[in-house]
Amino acid sequence: MNHDSLVAFALRVAALVRKELLAILKDPANRVILIAPAIVQSLLFGYAATYDLTNVPYAVLDQSRSPTSTELLARLDATGVFHRVATLQAEAEIRDVIDTQQALLAIRIGPRLESQLHAGEAAPLQLVIDARNSNTAGSALAYVSAVVDAYNRSLRERRGLPTAAPIEIETRAWYNPNLETRWNLMPGLIATLSMLQTLLLTALSVAREREQGTFDQLLVTPLSPLEIMIGKALPPILVGLTQATLILVVTRFWFGVPMAGSFVTLYIGLAMFTIASVGVGLSISALSANMQQAMLYTFVLLMPLVLLSGLTTPVANMPEALQIATLANPLRYAIDLVRRVYLEGVGLSTVVSDLIPLAIIAVVTLPAAAWLFRNRLV
């Protein structure tokens, strides 16, 4: 290709890009829908996403009414996490407070607490937990057990008895010292939220023209399928990167999640991911006869893509067959890449294992879409 034809190529693509951007952005409602939700969702979900217990309403049935039980409960209250919402008088009341979700857990302390302790016996403390949400139940159980363990130790120490746990565990958490769920989720959202809307936008681009009959007009212009493909792909790539940037800003500056890696590496990864998702979107678009089909196929694809990406549940927890299915999921690589660059600060050479699959997805889907533009009409 000589210099002149290269310029002509660039001019034709630029004209199409301009037309596409106008089609996307000329409607004020469209501008709002492509910018505002990214910010609102990242804020809301950033606050919502927590597996950490911050507020556990509990009920107490204290049949011993002893200094020991009072002290133990005071320790529980002192954590700031447990809030007593009910003091019960009878065992039957436990069912009421748990069933109606007034309390997440109920603690029952038997009448013989003090005498059992002084007799050297194990004094049972009954813990009834609402496990409708298994995750919260597990955390609450671990939390109460830790408080009781610590109290047991201090009871023994006060009496000068040897304590049962002489091993001190020094714990450190790499990449996320306080183990905050938000640190894990927000980088994942940078990739996920930008993909949701970009994929839908791309899937609709060709389908809309097909439905309105303008795609035939586009095909009879001097534009080659390659140029149409590039012209159709660039605007959504720009939209996707803009959305990713907005969520990145919220993550970094609103939530203050420290960024360990370099912006250059992050953007190389995000660009590759957006190109791959636009390729998927364009392929859906080229396969669909009209906008409705494009939207529905996109949605049928989106849900498994998000659910099997590792955003909310780890890929490692999935059964083998589904883990293999995730190999074709661009979001899986993107989330892994963003998390590693953002939290762990790894360099480009480490995330090559994510970049290559993304590149393969792009190299397969983009030419396939360009080919489908023309061959579907036949």
* Distance between CA atoms of residues 151 and 164, nearest Å: 12
Q: Does 171 bind another protein (CB under 8 A)?
A: yes
Q: Does 334 bind another protein (CB under 8 A)?
A: no
Q: Give the x/- contact pattern for another protein in 271-290, rule: CB under 8 A.
A: -----------------x--
Q: Does 314 bind another protein (CB under 8 A)?
A: yes
| CB 201 within 8 Å of CB 34 | yes
**Count of residues touching another protein (by CB under 8 A):** 116
Residue among 13, 16, 49, 257 that touches another protein (CB under 8 A): 49
Instruction: List the structure tokens of 322.
Output: 């589904």
* Distance between CA atoms of residues 105 and 95, nearest Å: 10
Residue among 144, 239, 257, 366 that touches another protein (CB under 8 A): 144
Residue among 67, 168, 220, 378 that touches another protein (CB under 8 A): 168
**12 versus 182: smaller Cβ distance to another protein:** 182
Quick one: which segment of 6-14, 274-282, 298-306, 354-362 binds another protein (CB under 8 A)?
A: 298-306
Count of CA atoms in the C-beta half-sphere (13 A) of 363:
6
Count of CA atoms in the C-beta half-sphere (13 A) of 340:
19
Instruction: List the structure tokens of 47.
Output: 């606050």
Q: Does 82 bind another protein (CB under 8 A)?
A: no
Torsion of CA 48, 50, 51, 54, to 10 degrees: -100
Q: Does 157 bind another protein (CB under 8 A)?
A: no
Q: Give the x/- contact pattern for another protein in 103-142, rule: CB under 8 A.
A: -x--------x--xxxxxxxxxxxxxxxxxxxxxxxx-xx
**17 versus 141: smaller Cβ distance to another protein:** 141
Q: Does 16 bind another protein (CB under 8 A)?
A: no
φ, ψ dihedrals at 172, nearest 5° = -135, 145
**4 versus 320: smaller Cβ distance to another protein:** 320
Chain residues 53-72 in contact with another protein, contact rule CB under 8 A: 53-57, 72
**188 versus 330: smaller Cβ distance to another protein:** 188
Q: Does 33 bind another protein (CB under 8 A)?
A: yes
Name the DSSP letter for residue 219: H
Which has the closest alpha carbon to 285: 275, 274, 296?
A: 296
Compute the least distance from the CB of residue 358 to another protein, in Å: 18
Q: Does 245 bind another protein (CB under 8 A)?
A: no
**192 versus 274: smaller Cβ distance to another protein:** 192
**226 versus 237: smaller Cβ distance to another protein:** 237
Compute the least distance from the CB of residue 6 to another protein, in Å: 34
Compute the least distance from the CB of residue 349 to another protein, in Å: 12
Q: Which residues contact 266 (CB under 8 A, 6 or more apart)?
A: 248, 259, 338, 341, 342
Torsion of CA 260, 266, 267, 270, to 10 degrees: -140
Chain residues 204-243 in contact with another protein, contact rule CB under 8 A: 204, 208
Q: Does 165 bind another protein (CB under 8 A)?
A: yes
* Distance between CA atoms of residues 225 and 242, nearest Å: 26
Q: Give the x/- contact pattern for another protein in 176-195, rule: CB under 8 A.
A: xx-xxxxxx-----------
* Distance between CA atoms of residues 84 and 194, nearest Å: 42
In which element (H, E) is residue 160 found?
none
In the three-class reduction of DSSP (H, G, I as helix; E, B as strand; rest coil), residue 365 is classed as helix
Instruction: List the structure tokens of 351.
Output: 């995330």
Could you report how far apart the first and last alpha carbons of the chain are, in Å? 29
Compute the least distance from the CB of residue 374 to another protein, in Å: 22
Instruction: List the structure tokens of 328.
Output: 């074709």
Q: Does 92 bind another protein (CB under 8 A)?
A: no
Instruction: List the structure tokens of 334.
Output: 């993107």
Q: Does 371 bind another protein (CB under 8 A)?
A: no
